[in-house]
Each structure stands twice: as C-alpha cells, then as structure tokens.
Amino acid sequence: MILLLARLVQIQLFETESFSKRNINLLEESVMQRVHAVSIHDGRGSFVDRTGKHLVDDVHGSVVLFPFLKYVDWPVEQLAHILDISPQHIMLQLTQKPVILKQNGKVLQLSAKQVEDINHLKVPGVVAVYAKTGGAVTADHLIGITGQNDTQVRARYGNKIQEGVISPHTPIGISGLQRAFDEFLVTSGESKLLYHVDRTGEPMFGKTVKYSSTANPFYPLVIRTTLDKELQQLAEKVVDDSGMKKGGLVLLDVQSGEILAMVSKPSLATYSQHAYTRGAKNQMLSAHIPGSVFKTVVAAAAIDKRKTSGAFNCDQDLYGEGPPEHEMGMLTFKESFAQSCNYTFAKIASELIKEDEDVLERYAKMLGLSQTVGWKGNVFHFTEFKQFPEEEARQIWKEQSDKHINKAIAQTAIGQKNVRVSPLAVANMMATIARGGQTIEVTAVKEIQYKNGAVMHAFPVHEVQSQLSQRVMEQLQQLLRSVVTSSKGTGKRYQSLPVTVAGKSGTAETGNDDYVNRWFAGYFPYEAPRYALVSVELYTNEVDNLAGKVFADYVEAIANKGM
C-alpha cells in the first residue's frame, strides 16, 4: 500500500507534466483520452489579391456528422433535402469517427443558406461549420506549398511547441510566399469541434459538441498580395490553352513594379510535397539563357556611348568569319535591333568592352536587370527579408578571362555563352525602360494584415533614380517599338493587336541543337505604358513559337476585357 501510495503521489503531484523518461504530459493525455477533436481550420494565415479576393479557395461551408448517428433515429431525410442528395449517401459515410460529408470523393461545399438551414434543424451530431478543407489555388507557384518537417519546426518554433500552440507535425511553408512569410502565417491555434468519448472511444450521446478556437481577434494574419485575381486567372487560361509544357509568363504594373500575374509550367500540385521535391519549381524566378533579349542591354550602352552610327554588314556571321544562317544585307543600328542581327551587337560589344570591361554589368543594373530584382529589406526583426527567397541571381560572365576573348564577347553580347537571367528580371527591365529609367524593386506582397483588416506592416516602394539620360531612354523605347512596327521586325506579328506593343524577341540555344528557349519581352500600350509582360517557352523543340503566341493572346485578352 505504501508503494502504491508513493506511485500515486508521483503521478498526481510531482510528475504530472513530465512523466517517465519520455516526458509525457499526463494532464494533456488525460484530456485527450476523454475528449476527441475534429479540426475544421488549422489556423494558418491566408492570401488575398490586391482587392481582397481569396487566392486559396480552401474554406467552405461543410457538414460534420458524428458516428452515433448510425445507431439512433434522426431526420436524415431533412438533411438530404437541404443538401439535395440521397439519405443513403449520407448514411453510408458514417464511420467510427466524425466525418466531413463528401460527394464524388470531394468535400461537399455548402452555401451560407445551407449552413444556416442545417444548424436550424438542431439535430445532435449534425453540425454545419465553415471548415478549411482544401481547394483550388490561384497562382500556385507564387503562393507555394506547405509540408511537414519536424526538425525545422522544432528549430524555428520551439517556443510555440512548448506553449502547446503547435505540434512538431504542424505544416510550414516549403516554397513561394508560403515559405517567405511562414513566420507570419504559422498557426496561432486550431479551430476544432470537441466532443467527449467513453472508455472505448465512442462519442457519448447527449454531450454537447463544443467549438474551440483561439480567442485572439487579430489572428490568423492575412497576406495581401499585389496580384489581380482576374488577370491571374486569365493568364493561367491563356498558358493552359497554348499547350505550353515548360515556361510561363510574368505581368508587371509598369508604374509600381508590382506583380499582377505570374504563371509557371509545369504546374505545381500545391498540396503535394512531391511536386516540389521533384523539380516543379517556379521557372519565372529561375535564371535561363535569354538569347537576343539581352541585346537590349548592349543597345543601351551603345546609345549612351554613341556607338550607333554607320552601317553594319549583316551578311556576316556572329564572328565576322563567314555568311550567317540568314543574310540581311547592310543595316543601320535601328534596323539591326529590329531584325536582331547578331554581327552588329557582337561588333559593338567588342568595342565597348575594350573601353570598359565591366560595361555590360553596369548597364544591366541601370536597366533594372540587377543581381536580383525582388523586394528585400528589414521587416520587424528580420534583416534582409526577401519576398522571393527562391529568386536566382543574374549572371553575365562566368569567368573574367572571357572579357578578353573575342568569341566569348560575341556570344555574351547576344545573350548566349554564360548569360543567365530570370523572366522576372527581364520583366523588370522592360518596366524600367517603359517608365523612363527609374528602377523599382519588384513586389508580390503589398502588406500584412491582421484578421480584422488592420495593417500590421506595409511594404514601402524601393526605387532608384535613373542613371541614364532621357535621350538614351527615348531612343531605347523607339528601338523596342521598331521591333514591332518594322516590316522585317521579329515582332511584326503584334502589329494587329488592339493595343500598341514595344518589345524584344529572343531565341536562345540551350546546348542541345534540337532545343531552344523562346522569349518575347515588352510593354504596352506604347504611348502610355501600363503593363510589362514577358512570355517564355523553355527547352522546346516545337516548330510553333508558343512564347510569341502566349504574349499575343494574353495582350489581346487583356485589351478585350478593357483592363
């Protein structure tokens, strides 16, 4: 009896929160033994577009059914009538645990009236709630995915685990904005339906189902993005309809540098970790070979250094050693840009680098083609916070010695060799040119909001005044416009669009003779620029130029909607 009494004292008084070598919290375990829970919302923060529309369609009206309904008489016909399904369908889903009613394998989504009507029935064991059940995601790559990583959770949120707010199995951000803003999004407490069970685990009939949620009216937080949901969905439709397998598009607001739409292919299965680990990354943030799009940088330097006079023999190949694949004759600098003559830009780049070997890096930066272009800065206690932690840096030269090798200079001048830039950076370059040279860091998030809509933190605009003269910017704008207006321009297909377009095409060799990267980057309307758009198809051997088609179709779709 003394030993038994000592054991009870140990359990009840001294080791109630840390019993045995496994440090078991007996108080929590005893509650869990008699009270079970149905999670209806994990408490993680959400994403909305610039106008407040939800980008992740995952909270719906749902009906929860408790297992004792199998053994009692209840008005299942009335519930079936409200849901417009058969009573048999409802009864077949009842199990030994509470379930959220499904139809055709998916959670049955209820209207606000259905939620009200079901709860008005006041049937014990039938509860209609707004639950987080998963759903369609707009801008899946940009928003990103969540997943479980016990080690990371313990390292980053040990205090929350100790406080009992989260468990080591709580999902955290793995990619995209889910990853960048994880510290703000991580749950502050679940919303649950609680019910008592008997010793066999069966729900106790007659006990009230209770709703448990965090009492904090400010959480979970809301991330207000810069996206326009209508433009984003329109972009996704255009890219899907084109049949593009790898690539995508980026649409920026010229004046603010905000992302309005972003699509990356292949698509990311948002609720599957495997899609991310198998390489379905955001191609719009990844650095790729740009091809002739990079000639825009050489053109800016040539205009500023006054290297544009005279005629260029475009019946020579890139190195001036023989005929090119397509002979173009003697062309002016403007004609060379419109028709994308490689020899002209190889020759000019060679002259520029002889005078200043860092000339391409400097002019790329002045055009907004910086190492990275996404917003970065201090946010609360986070130093150098990045909205795009996965953005890959720009590269122009891999080896400094290449600046003294003529063939390496020629290849670099036309965006080949080791040149790598992301579509996001190219879009920022076009936006910079369109607004006259002012460089702005690209943003995807406008502000972090409390649950009640109050602003927790707003992201300020990070801008740099132009270092290029008005003369340079005006001539650069005219060059980009000539690509479309010229009868032999590489962008002449856009002449028939309902708005005026300026831009530059690019076809980049990938190292495999059969596969290329195809680009078109530009802005519109030309007279009063509003949008900067980049469309790119990566590593393709298709005859059709899908990048050009996507650019044209999206511009036309935006114009037709009057947006």
Active site residues: 292
- H or E element, residue 534: strand 531-540
Tokens of 412: 């670099």
CB atoms within 10 A of CB 107: 18
> In Å, what is the CA distance from 250 to each residue of 156, 232, 265, 285, 425?
32, 10, 12, 10, 10
Task: Answer whether 177's CB lies under 8 Å from 223's CB.
Answer: yes
Amino acid at site 42? D
Task: Answer whether 154's CB lies under 8 Å from 166's CB.
Answer: no
Task: Answer whether 244's CB lies under 8 Å from 537's CB.
Answer: yes
> In Å, what is the CA distance from 528 to each residue of 255, 426, 441?
11, 20, 21
Question: Peptide bond preceding 203: is omega within 30 degrees of 0, i.e. cis?
Answer: no
Reduced to 3 states, what is the DSSP secondary structure of residue 529?
coil
DSSP β-bridge partners for residue 39: 192
Question: Tokens 């000592």 appear where?
Answer: 6
CB atoms within 10 A of CB 382: 11
> What is the number of residues in the chain?
563
**Sign of the CA dihedral with 214 first, then 217, 221, and 227 last:** positive
DSSP β-bridge partners for residue 412: none
Beta-carbon contacts of 502 under 8 Å, excluding residues fewer than 6 positions away, are: 434, 477, 480, 481, 483, 484, 522, 523, 524, 526
- Tell me how far apart the alpha carbons of residues 343 and 340 are, in angstroms, rounded to a whole number: 9
Q: What is the 3-state secondary structure (H, E, C) of 438-471?
A: CEECEECEEEEECCCCCEEEECCCCEECCCCCHH
Task: Answer whether 276's CB lies under 8 Å from 269's CB.
Answer: no
**Strand ranges in 123-215 using DSSP code E only, listed in sequence order:** 126-132, 146-147, 172-173, 191-196, 210-212
Beta-carbon contacts of 199 under 8 Å, excluding residues fewer than 6 positions away, are: none
Among 290, 409, 402, 289, residue whose Cα is nearest residue 345: 409
The secondary structure of 286-324 as a DSSP string is S-B--GGGGHHHHHHHHHHTT---S-EETTS-TTSSS--
- Tell me how far apart the alpha carbons of residues 36 and 55 are, in angstroms, rounded to a whole number: 32
Amino acid at site 539? Y
